[in-house]
Structure 1
């Protein structure tokens, strides 16, 4: 199945259960973003309510993220166990719900993906070379002397002193 389309003419009044997979290409994400690692799986109940088509059920899709701490790639499955998607019916015929299902999965992306939340959790520790607290307190940088006759901050210091005198 390449698209999730519902034929309204063949949809029973009580709705129907649909399940299947959509190809990872439906996500069409930028190369520097997370990438799908497999198809989007769905188990949905579809029912028509007046001018609305309601999808309820579960969605899941695996993605390869980059850990914000270690910068290592990892796979995490985004699961939406109780999805509820409503589409307005504008015309009879068939409705393509692929983009709505896609968006429902994408809004559940982690804000700061970490490899300890992966399907196969990894140790998620920052390399100590990148922590400022682990670096030696003394460095070889000397404080530069003030230029003679060019004390630009003295005007601000004067304002600070007059404000505290009140």
Structure 2
């Protein structure tokens, strides 16, 4: 009788182990199904394509800032450049990064609560469209093109 109980116990342990080996990957796979691998909900991804002729073929800063319509309209070039170089930096700045001519960049920023985003490019000789306002509700991803001395939003294209 003791031998029968010992054998039955070992068989149950083996079947439980096999069931666990099957269920654990299945549960892990289902857990990951609802997640987006590209960007978290609280982040915005900016795909930026910089033309090779931007800023007379010199690097340029791109700046992301929390704004509203009034602030965006009165922002001037000197005000934005002063914010970037201030120590400590202005609290409304979300991110800033240098762009190299002819290169593509991906920049993730934290989505601001109930704010619009101002995007600014600090060219040596800024064109008329050196800044761009992205209004709420904000999308999870944007395509931006920097050409010559101008900034524009573009739609998602074939190569992006």
TM-score tier after normalising by the smaller chain length: under 0.3
Larger radius of gyration: 1
TM-score normalised to structure 1 length: 0.24
User: Which structure has the higher relative contact order (CA within 8 Å, separation 6+)?
Assistant: 2
Question: Which protein has the bigger helix share?
Answer: 2
TM-score normalised to structure 2 length: 0.24
